[in-house]
């Protein structure tokens, strides 16, 4: 297990982790606030807004940290997901409901895990030494309700996506710290336009 911890720390250090955690916390807060604009449908709106805020704020974080990132389409090409790259690792963020859960299967996640994590699994099963060049696919899994982020972790799935190779919980930031921050006007305007588009579709 120390091998996984070491290579992940080489890819996403303490500053990376705290910045990403802060972005996810802010996404929960902002999505809960914006979902109120949907009236009685706020419960249906918030998960979508949470996803959008998570992706948009993580993109901003990747830019600030100087990390490579890419917005890639899913298999159906009707939605895009953000992938952040560092030290041969690809990170994608996903909401889960409860500890020990994994995101539902998707073709792009299966492609990442099968192409990357098979070699990782083989290398670490047979070798106690850390391999600096080894990379893989890691999830940034987050769980929470409403405005509150309750858990977040770096989780490496098995190549078949049915189990976990390694999971490491990350330290949460206080809601007070998150509330004190502000989102840049450009990003806030982008999200406001997206919310307006969703509201028009509800009418």
102 vs 125, more confident: 102
pLDDT at residue 169 in the model: 96
Q: How far is CA 155 from CA 30, 84, 103, 139, 197, in A?
A: 25, 14, 11, 5, 34
Q: What is the dihedral of CA 75, 78, 84, 88, to 10 degrees?
A: 10
81 vs 111, more confident: 81
Element (H, E) at 86: strand 80-86
The ranges assigned to domains in the chain are: 2-202
Calculate mean pLDDT across residues 61-72.
Answer: 94
Instruction: Report whether 44 contacts 194 (CB < 8 A).
Output: no
pLDDT more than 90, % of the chain: 42
- Global confidence as pTM: 0.80
Calculate mean pLDDT across residues 100-115.
Answer: 62
Angle at which helices 14-35 and 185-202 pack, to 10 degrees? 40
Q: Give per-residue pLDDT as tens, 5-25.
A: 888 999 999 999 999 999 999
Computed over every residue of the chain, the mean pLDDT equals 80
Instruction: Report whether 148 contacts 28 (CB < 8 A).
Output: yes
pLDDT at residue 84 in the model: 97
């Amino acid at each position: 297990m120390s091998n996984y911890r070491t290579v992940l720390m080489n890819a996403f250090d303490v500053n990376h982790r705290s910045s990403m955690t802060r972005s996810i916390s802010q996404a929960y807060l902002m999505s809960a606030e914006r979902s109120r604009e949907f009236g009685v449908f706020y419960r249906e709106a918030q998960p979508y807004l949470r996803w959008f805020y998570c992706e948009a704020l993580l993109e901003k974080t990747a830019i600030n940290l100087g990390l490579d990132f890419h917005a890639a389409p899913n298999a159906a090409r009707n939605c895009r997901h953000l992938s952040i790259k560092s030290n041969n690792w690809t990170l994608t963020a996903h909401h889960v409901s409860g500890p020990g859960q994994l995101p539902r299967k998707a073709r792009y996640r299966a492609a990442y895990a099968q192409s990357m994590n098979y070699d990782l699994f083989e290398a670490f099963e047979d070798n106690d030494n850390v391999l600096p060049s080894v990379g893989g696919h890691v999830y940034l899994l987050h769980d929470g309700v409403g405005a509150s982020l309750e858990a977040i972790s770096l989780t490496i799935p098995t190549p078949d996506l049915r189990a976990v190779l390694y999971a490491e919980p990350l330290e949460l930031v206080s809601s007070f710290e998150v509330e004190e921050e502000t989102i840049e006007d450009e990003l806030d305007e982008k999200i406001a336009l997206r919310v307006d588009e969703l509201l028009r579709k509800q009418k």
